[in-house]
Amino acid sequence: MTVIQNTVEINKPVNEVYNFLADMNHHEQLMPENIVNWTSTEDEARFTIKNMAKLALRISERLENQELVSVPVEEAPFPLTLRWKLEANSDNSTKATFVIEAGLNMMMKMMASGPLQKLVDFQVSRLKEIFG
């Protein structure tokens, strides 16, 4: 399993960050430009990664103010789990870590780990901007 992650400090209470991330409708704001055809509900999001793949993700697990786990609803190009881990640093500060766990063979790892790391980095920096 390939694990790609990044962490950011957000100057907001953990429950505010959790409530934002717990609604898949908000995740479109975290996506880069190459994500198109976005549709979502509170629990599910469907989108296309331009010139690559279509994905449908569903929040499969919610641990209030701690963790949100999303998994593919339909067949994905490879086994995939997306996790937002949250930790309160203080009443007004949250540590947010975005983790992608991907079942990549060597060939896929060479091709996909760079773009996946860019996606993780982009999403944590966007989350910080949104709460900035």
**Domain coordinates of the chain in residue numbers?**
2-131
Q: What percent of the chain has pLDDT over 70?
A: 100
Q: In this structure, are residues 53 and 35 in contact, taking their beta carbons and an 8 Å threshold?
A: no
Token pair recorded at residue 13: 């209470």
Outline where 29-75 has alpha helix (H): none
Q: What is the mean pLDDT of residues 30-54?
A: 93
pLDDT for res 62: 98
pLDDT for res 64: 98
pLDDT for res 49: 86
Smallest Cα–Cα separation from 127: which of 17, 44, 24? 17
70 vs 62: CA distance, rounded Å: 9
- Render pLDDT for 84-110 as a digit per residue (tens, 0 to 9): 999 999 999 999 999 999 999 999 999
pLDDT for res 22: 98
Q: What is the mean pLDDT of residues 31-37?
A: 94
Q: What is the mean pLDDT of residues 118-130?
A: 97
User: Topology of domain 2-131, per CATH?
Assistant: Alpha-D-Glucose-1,6-Bisphosphate; Chain A, domain 4 (3.30.530)
Smallest Cα–Cα separation from 14: which of 82, 103, 86? 86
- The whole model's pTM is what? 0.94
pLDDT band at 50 (very low <50, low <70, confident <90, very high): confident
Smallest Cα–Cα separation from 45: which of 5, 99, 11, 82? 82
Smallest Cα–Cα separation from 5: which of 128, 124, 126? 124
Measured between alpha carbons, how far apart are the two ends of the chain, in Å? 33
Q: What is the mean pLDDT of residues 31-54?
A: 93
pLDDT for res 122: 98
